[in-house]
Amino acid sequence: MTVELAYREYGNGPPMVLLHGLFGSAQNWNGMAERLASRFRVFACDLRNHGQSPWAPTMEFGEMADDLEALIAEKGLAPTIVLGHSVGGKTAMLTALKHPEVIEALIVVDIAPVAYEVPFLGYIQAMQATDLSAGRRRSDIDAELASAIPDTATRQFLLQNLTPQDGGGYAWRINLDALAANMSSLMEFPDTSDLAYEGRALFVSGAESDFIGRHTHNAIYEHFPQAEFAVIAGSGHDPHIEQPDALFERLIDFLDSSYA
C-alpha cells in the first residue's frame, strides 16, 4: 500500500522531484531546492518513515517507487525530472525502471543499482538504545551516541532527527523500528535484470566516495544505457552539502542539455 509523501514545493517551471537519503529529509535539500527553483517547479519529498511522511512497517524499494509514482500522478507532474540521493537514488532508479513513462530525466547522486555493506544497522541500534527522557539535553544524547558512532559529522546528521516533546525529552522523527526491520533490503537493489530505462540519466558521485566507481559501471549501463557520469571534487557521499556550488553547476549543465 502506498503512503502519501510529505513534500516542500518551490518555484515554477518544468517539474522536478528530489528524494533524500537514508536518515535524511527534504530539509537536507532545502538549499539546493531553492537554487533549482529559479528554473524548475521543485518538489522535495520525505520518503516513508522519514521527515513528515507517514510511518509504515515495510519499506521495500518497490513500495517506495510506488509512493513516488503516486505523488507524480496526484500532482500531474509526468513526465518529470527525478533526482535521488543514496536510498532516494535507488528509489528514483526503480521508479524509472518500473514507470519509465513518468520520468523525463533521471539524476542519481552517489549510489548505484547494487548491494552495499554499510554499518547503518549499528547506528539504528545505538539510536534505539539512547535515553531520550525529560531532562536530557541534545548534548547528552550526542555524548551517549559517541561510542557507537564516533564520527562527529555523522552524529550531527543523525541528531537532526531529534524532535522535542511537549512533556520534555525527545523522540526520533524517523521510524527506527521499520528501518531496522528493512535494513537488509535497503542495502540491496531489487532484481530488475529484465528492465532498462532508455531515457537520459546522470550519475553524480563524490570524488572521495566509493559508492560509484568502475566496479558499479556495468550494473549502471545494464539498466541505464544512456548514463552519463560526473565526479564532484572535494566531496564524499553528500555533494549537496559538501560542494553545493559544483553540484548545482553540473546539474544545470545536464538539465540544460536535456532541453536543448
- Nearest-CA neighbor of 83 among 36, 19, 38? 19
Q: Which residue has the cell 532545502?
A: 30
Residues 6+ apart with CB under 8 A from 227: 201, 202, 203, 220, 221
Question: Exactly one of 50, 99, 223, 237 is catalytic; which is it?
Answer: 237
Question: Exactly one of 86, 205, 209, 235 is catalytic; which is it?
Answer: 86
Question: Exactly one of 140, 142, 177, 185 is catalytic; which is it?
Answer: 177
Distances (CA, A) of 71 to 59, 64, 75, 76, 128: 16, 11, 6, 8, 31
Whether 177 is catalytic: yes
For the record, the C-alpha cell of 195 comes out as 528492465
Cis peptide upstream of residue 190 (ω within 30 degrees of 0):
no
Q: CA-CA distance, 152 to 163, in Å (whole number)? A: 19
- Nearest-CA neighbor of 19 among 102, 116, 93? 93
Whether 237 is catalytic: yes
Q: Which residues are catalytic?
A: 86, 177, 237
